[in-house]
Amino acid sequence: MAKSKKLKSRPVAFVYVLGSFHKGRYISYVGWTNDVTQRLEKHNAGTGARSTRGRTWTLLHTEPFTTRNEAMSREWHLKRDRAFRKKLMDGVRAAAVIASEAKQSMSQKTKTGLLRRLRSSQ
């Protein structure tokens, strides 16, 4: 007697959360799609959902689903889960602060290095 193997289905739909810093505030957007990469490109090109136009978006979170209905249901719940979205955005803010500090630190080191080179060449 052959044992039946349970096949893992490939995801056919994804729920995604995007984040953006625009006009001094961080905002998020939740949607579902069959192709996350293509959808992100559309949002960043200004041809995505109306509320996402004119901003640069970063992919914060994705979840795969085997059916479109499951993805749409999860999207509905995520749109109402402000605590989860806030937690994701807090991570983005922290990363932005760290990147900004690193950039400032590097520019300060570069200035110091240039000053040393100028002084030594005189």
Residue 116 lies in a domain: no
In this prediction the pTM is 0.70
Residue 120 lies in a domain: no
Distances (CA, A) of 103 to 40, 78, 79, 96, 107: 26, 34, 34, 10, 6
Residue 63 lies in a domain: yes
Residue 1 lies in a domain: no
Enter the tokens of residue 38: 């293509």
Residue 71 lies in a domain: yes
Give pLDDT tens digits for 47-95: 888 888 888 888 999 999 999 999 999 999 999 999 999 888 887 777 7
Quote the number of domains for the chain.
1
Distances (CA, A) of 80 to 21, 40, 86, 106, 116: 20, 21, 11, 40, 55
